[in-house]
Structure 1
Amino acid sequence: MIRPLDSLRSFKVKTGLVVVIALFAASGTFWLAAQQPFRYALLLALVVALVVTQIVAHGMTSPLREMTAASRAMANGDYTHRVRATSRDEIGQLAVAFNTMSADLAEADRYRRELIGNVSHELRTPIASLQAVLENIADGVQEATPATVGVALEQTERLARLVDDLLDLSKLEGGALGLSRSTFDLRQFLTSVVGQSTVTRFSVSVEPPGATVTADEERVRQVMANLVENAVRHGPPDGAVAVSAVVGDDTVRIDVVDEGDGIAPPDRARVFDRFVRGGSTDGGTGIGLAIARWAAELHGGTLDVVDVGAGCCFRLTLPV
């Protein structure tokens, strides 16, 4: 329906204008009716004033009625309703804020549902495997040999990794983590990170030699450890991992390159989504890369997949 007063920016001005228009309409109707032998001139003037007021003021309160209906729908879990926000006054601004809130609530509800489903799926596999091993031992089907206990330990470690990732994800979403910057030797740091991983063949290079970096060492270690282990999972069993760093005037660029098949260009953005494991089937939670990119952005840097020819290259860029 037409809202003739939507272009006005003040609700007070709209109200005053409605009163003026109604008075003019009533006065004009009464004057015209008084010129004729019509007994109900005053009543006719009042009816005309009410009709004009309804037409002119319709758009002033309709957003409030729409918000009331949308709020009732949201109370029942339906976040799809939106309010027509064409008015430029205070109610129109409220309608815009209401639509933004509805969209945020819809996104939060979608994320909550996906998170519950994904976490349930991720927990089901290691719990089922661990339960099967323990039941076999309890029933005497298998003995508690080091190999059997090792399988149970592997699944327990997988559960621990998932819990740790979920805790980091919760802190990420809540903005509860800040940065504790310090200056450290880049080569020693990268060698330490790679040495603590499961990779057997690796190389570390830093240009210029002896370069230092000022950043949150624990957060950068979390990023690098995730990238190195990701390279191990997606590379061949006997493949090498190359870690190289170049410190420039403005940025520090660190590349982690494996000898795997690489990631297709259409899938490169998706690997940073939560619970996307990029084809990994050996226990990755699918949260690590999302947390790694968040840690990079927390420093004001970036984390991307870049072309290097063969293999896959993750590039971490941090401001100096």
Structure 2
Amino acid sequence: MAIRWYKRLFLKIFVTVWLTSFLVIALTAFVIGHLSDQQRDRDVFSARVLGQAELLIDRYERDGHLPSPKEWRRGHDDDHDHKAPRIFPSRVQITELNTGQVIFGREGSRKFRNPVMFTVISDTNREYQVVAETRTRPDLTAKLFGFFLSVQVVLLMVVAAIAALLISLMVVRPVNRLRQYTRDLYNGDLSARTDDGLSRRGDEIGELSREFNRMAEYVEQTLQSNTHLLQDVSHELRAPLARLQMAAGLAGQKIPEAGQQYIERINQECDRINRLIDEILSLSRLEQMEVSDQSFELTRVIDTLVEDFRFSAPHHPVHWTPVDYRIKGNPALLERALSNILGNAVKHTPADTDITISAELVAGKVLIRVADTGPGLSAEQLDKMFKPFVRFTGQQNGYGLGLSIAQRAVQLLGGTLTARSDLGKGLELLLSFPTA
């Protein structure tokens, strides 16, 4: 089953790393910049307050009195720079330290918020304490919006994307290579092993690749041992079976006619054992067949099979429309797969049951359909039908190896074999192959 694009590991890692790194860096830069701007505005504000305080003190020492804060602020509004930061002294209090007299501002008023406090020594060596309340009116929304539209944010996005891409590739590329080796092993390439670049890594991916190599080695040895065992046992059974058939023939010549039915029964069972040995040997030989990279015509293989079955099973009409498709591999594997599938349809469907073979291109793959109009199979039977030596109730012909051999032949061609059916509506087998 193909992975949907939004579920891919690469996309998940890339988006997560990119968003996380971008937001962390951007917010850090914004906070640091905001704090820096606040400190700068506070320094500018302190300088303005100090300048005004010195003017007020000089006027106080010269005239002996000062205007009210509102009158002083009204007289200096024209000097305010509207392009400067929106920070202004809402309350200023100047106190003469020698006498404790408040010469400007209200005495005993509420506490100052975020005050700026410093001492001024006049030309007459009098000390004054100046306290000013700072009030900021920052538009954080506009400032944040402007920050995220700035050039530095674009640069942050690009840098974060490059970092996320590198991290994603570091994780996903070796995983994809391991997946390809696993797929090769599943498709019958028992010699599939990870390359040195993966197996020599010192991290978890390198350990996983080494574990894969150990697993592949075990699978190859096990399957080869089983194949050799099947071949050896089958060949060992052939000799006593042949002697048993010969002895039955000789006994049939000497036993009276009344005992011939027993001799025929012995010969029948010997034939069954012989067919079973043939199927087991076919399954073991299948693993040793050469898997070619050459392409071949699909029609040529299917035409020959259809003609053979029309001759050997005339009571099952076979319908086939030739197509102009090619697939890669050994044509003998496709012939073995389709032969077993057609043979299975002929064995397990009533006479005069139509068998239809068709081929089409679907999503870049060649899809071969083999459908019959027989009784069909249940969902439980569909799950078991490709397992070796599985026969369903009422099926006495064969030994349950035909479809297993067909599935393995399709896999060696790099394809897949699936089935679907509804009881009473026939069985459909789907063979999917990459196009040549």
User: TM-score, normalized by length of structure 2?
Assistant: 0.39
1:111–1:144 distance in 2 versus 1, CA, 3 Å: same
**What is the rounded CA distance, in whole Å, between the counterparts of 2:410 and 2:258 in structure 1?**
46
Counting only pairs closer than 5 Å after superposition, residues 1-320 of structure 1 correspond to structure 2 as 134=249, 137-142=252-257, 152=267, 155-156=270-271, 158-173=272-287, 175=288, 177-179=290-292, 181-185=295-299, 188-206=303-321, 209-215=322-328, 216-236=330-350, 238-248=351-361, 250-279=364-393, 281-307=395-421, 310-320=425-435
2:334 is aligned with what amino acid?
A: V
Query: Matches of 1:182 and 1:281 in 2, distance apart?
Result: 35
* Alpha-carbon contact 1:193-1:224 (below 8 Å) kept: no
Q: Secondary structure at the match of 2:385?
A: helix
**CA 137–305 in structure 1, closer or farther in 2 if over 3 Å, else same:** same
Query: RMSD of aligned C-alpha atoms?
Result: 4.8
SS in 2 for 1:257: strand
Give the counterpart letter for 1:265 in structure 2: A
Using a 3 Å threshold, how does the CA distance of structure 1 residues 253 and 210 change in structure 2: closer, same or farther? closer
* CA-CA distance at 1:184 after TM superposition: 4.7
* Contact 2:387–2:404 (CA under 8 A) maintained in structure 1: yes
Change (3 A) 1:132 1:270: farther
Structure 1 position 308, deviation (Å): 5.7
Higher relative contact order (CA 8 A, sep 6+): 1
Unpaired runs of 5+ residues, structure 2, are 1-202
User: Residue 233 of structure 1: CA displacement?
Assistant: 1.6
**Alignment-mate amino acid for residue 211 of structure 1:** D
Q: CA separation in 2, counterparts of 1:280 and 1:226?
A: 19
Answer with 1 or 2: which has the greater Rg. 2
**How much has 1:316 moved relative to structure 2?**
1.9
Instruction: Give % identity.
Output: 21
1:194 maps to a residue whose letter is F
Contact 2:386-2:403 within 8 A present in 1 as well: yes
Aligned AA (1:164): D
Q: List runs of 5+ in structure 1 lacking aligned partners.
A: 1-87
Q: Report how many aligned residue pairs link the two structures.
A: 221
Seen in structure 2, the aligned counterparts of structure 1 residues 255 and 277 have a Cα distance that, compared at 3 Å, is same
Offset from partner CA, 1:164-212 (integer Å, 9 cap, x none): 3222322345x55323642252562452243254352213132xx5434
Counterpart contact for 2:372–2:426, Cα < 8 Å: yes
